[in-house]
Amino acid sequence: MDPEWHITSFNRAAEEITGVPHGEALGKRCSEVFRSSMCEAECALRRTLKTGKPIIGKAGYIIDSDGNRLPISVSTAVLRDAAGRVTGGAETFRDLSEVEELRRELEGKYQVGDLTSRSPLMQRVFEILPAIAASPSTVLIIGETGTGKELVARTIHALGPRPKGPFIAVNCGALPETLLESELFGYKIGAFTGANKDKPGRFALARGGTIFLDEIGEVSLALQVRLLRVLQERTYEPLGGTRSESTDARIMVASNKDLAGQVRRGVFREDLYYRVNVVRIELPPLRRRKEDIPLLVEQFVTRFNRLQQKTVPGITAEALSLLMAHDWPGNIRELENVIERAFILCNEGRIGIEHLPGELTAHGAKRGLDFHSRSAHDILDAQAIRAALERNAFNRLAAAKELGVHKTTLFRRMKKLGIALPEKDGRSQRRRR
């Protein structure tokens, strides 16, 4: 381009990528030909001409002659004459369509709906979600607080036959019993003082869609009786009503408690338990799927960049190592809160250890974690190996098979990472073998 942004040279590769013939492009302003996401305020070449510094591999997209959006990477340089005077600029761009397609293909292997995970434990959940979504059966989702139970329920709803229907979520543990009953079933005018008009309940609002009852283990025995009727007969009576109403909403429930244990203690009805426990999904805590932490951090960084209008490029290896060493009792929700806090403190560059809560750094210091000598990869590797060993009763051959590596590779990695098997008869199994 010349200093007035008119195209003076346009090679064959540029023709093939844009679909614009050489003769048609020459003399036009570059923005008319490329129609790029960077053509105005973020123009890479404009910045290069202003600073004199080249830009290498800036991501963006152009609109080709057929109106298709093509992902590209752009590099720029200043053009000078023999006397050193600026005569314009050069811009090279690479079509990243195939790279983008490969990236989407790889993401597809680790993603179902809005759920993303590389963990073998979560992959087993992913495998059954489409079949569960296609079924009208009641679903019970078990998992600790913060593991993403509602997100799983929303994903099942989105993959099901009625994705455009309503998704109504109710936190049963956040409402007192009297209010929860009216919220679920609604009420008729005059049902109680202040009931000046009819109000539909959540079951009515969920018709044609899904109702999700979170923390169902907190519901009283009296209200459990009414929920049992809805599950058995698909009917209920609003407070103050004289006629039954029906619902076709799909019912999903969740709990962070052991419902079978609550049944044994007499605080949860056995017949209701069998009704909700038709299809069961158990979500592992984050401490058992630490290989997902880098992926989750990347997602949160992308989201908070968008919400807070920032351009934080990511997280340092030292900070990621610290996150990998934490056990995350609050699970994914706790990790999300930590990254959100870091965004508030991080004004430029990557998120570092200085942007993380003091309790995380103190915990890392107690465990003797050397952020500079141990890479995030080593910590991730060690966590994955320990988890596989625990799942296979510390049988190294079985763990190696699960991890998809040869047994000698596993033994070598265990030795390098200092992972020893539990002691037995006063000696470590590692030394004995």
Q: pLDDT tens string for the chain (433 positions)? A: 888 889 999 998 888 888 888 888 899 888 888 777 667 667 878 888 888 888 777 777 777 777 777 778 788 888 888 888 888 889 888 877 665 555 554 455 566 777 888 888 888 899 899 999 999 999 999 999 999 999 999 999 999 999 999 999 999 988 888 889 999 999 888 777 777 888 899 999 999 999 999 999 999 999 999 999 999 999 999 988 888 999 999 999 999 999 999 999 999 999 999 999 999 999 999 999 988 998 899 889 988 988 888 888 889 888 888 898 888 999 999 999 999 999 999 888 889 989 998 878 665 545 544 444 445 556 667 777 887 888 888 888 888 887 777 888 888 888 887 788 776 544 444 444 4
Nearest of 210, 212, 186, 209 to residue 198 by alpha carbon: 186
Please name the fold of domain 12-96. Answer: Beta-Lactamase (3.30.450)
Rounded Cα distance, 304 and 322, in Å: 20
Closest by Cα among 137, 88, 151 to 333: 151
Residue 370: the pLDDT is 47
* pLDDT of 210: 97
Q: What topology is assigned to 110-282 in CATH?
A: Rossmann fold (3.40.50)
405 beta partners:
none
Domain ranges of the chain: 12-96, 110-282, 286-374, 377-432
- Got the DSSP string for 82-128? TTS-EEEEEEEEEE-HHHHHHHHHHHHHTEETTEE---HHHHHHHHH
Rounded-to-integer distance, Cα 215 and Cα 253, Å: 7
pLDDT of residue 380: 62
Calpha distance 294→298 (Å, rounded): 6
Architecture of the domain whose range is 377-432: Orthogonal Bundle (1.10)
As beta bridge partners, residue 423 has 428
Structure tokens at 313: 């490029």
pLDDT at 64: 73
Long-range contacts of 269-277 (CB under 8 A, 24+ apart): 269/221, 269/224, 269/225, 269/228, 271/228, 272/224, 272/227, 272/228, 272/231, 275/138, 275/228, 275/231, 275/232, 276/138, 276/140, 276/216, 276/231, 276/251, 277/140
User: Which CA distances in Å does 50 have to 37, 42, 262, 368?
Assistant: 19, 12, 69, 48
CATH of domain 286-374: 1.10.8.60
Q: Measured between alpha carbons, how far is 341 from 325 in angstroms, rounded to an integer?
A: 19
In three-state form (DSSP H/G/I as H, E/B as E, the rest C), the secondary structure along 166-191 is CEEEEEHHHCCHHHHHHHHHEECCCC
Q: How far apart are CA 177 and CA 221, in angstroms?
A: 10
Rounded to 10 degrees, what is the CA torsion of 411, 416, 420, 426?
Answer: 100
Are the C-beta atoms of residues 94 and 73 closer than 8 Å to each other?
Answer: yes
CA distance 367 to 363: 6
DSSP letters spanning 244-275: -EE---EEEEEESS-HHHHHHTTSS-HHHHHH
**Which tokens belong to 187?**
């009420």
b/e sequence 391-404, b meaning 16+ C-beta within 10 Å: ebebebeebbebbe
